[in-house]
Amino acid sequence: MQAGDGMAKKADIPRQAIKSALELAASRGWNRTSLGDIAADAKVPLAELRKIFPSKAAILDAFSAQIDAEVLAAPDPDMADRPTPERLFDVLMRRFDALGPYKEGVRAVVRGATCDPEALIWGSLSLRHSMTWMLEAAGLNAAGLSGRMRVKGLALIYLAAMSVWFRDDTEDMAQTMAAFDRQLKRVDRIMGVVCRMQRPRTNAPEPSEAAAEAG
């Protein structure tokens, strides 16, 4: 078949299928969008789509990875020496910039996931993977127990901001930025307290004890 016959080029199939899936979700709802609908809209043979994406959840997983890649590919060198909350703010707002063209589709997927166990499982795993990469992009270690705690905390912040983003109709995402700023400042204060509480005690005497011993 020639490229001009209306069939998507093989190299374009993943991106076109993702685009079609989210556009259909936005127009008719995620739960009412079938793999056959996606294949037809993307002008891809169903068998070819099956080779690449065995399920709708696989399409969403690829979409999440696509957004991750867009964020990771455009780091801001000026943020390297900025405080942690500012670096996280920058990374997460760049993520919402990347999600912008798919906003209505993402909203439909999130809404539909409440009654789709497969989508819920995908959402949990995909969110964890994405937040791991976002932490690393912000220069924070996501490994080990402390890293897993950071991933969970960032995921909660991200989800809270996403609920604002869905309602945010400002051109510069001012409401979303404000929500992020509040959440990140709150977490930064909490983490500062935790770090001080976990700071190892030394055997050095308190100033009053040292003075008594000197006397």
| CATH code, domain with 176 | 1.10.357.10
9-18, 55-64, 137-146, 158-167: least confidently modelled range: 9-18
In a domain, 88, yes or no: yes
Q: Residue 81: its pLDDT value, please?
A: 87
Q: Are 148 and 154 in contact (CB under 8 A)?
A: no
Q: Are 175 and 167 in contact (CB under 8 A)?
A: yes
In a domain, 66, yes or no: yes
Q: Which residue has the tokens 């959840």?
A: 57
Degrees to nearest 5, angle at CA 114 with 174 and 36 = 100
| Helix runs in the chain, H state only | 13-28, 35-42, 46-52, 56-72, 84-99, 103-113, 117-137, 144-167, 174-198, 207-214
As for how many domains the chain has, the answer is 1
Residue 182 structural domain: 56-197
In a domain, 120, yes or no: yes
In a domain, 102, yes or no: yes
pTM of the model: 0.79
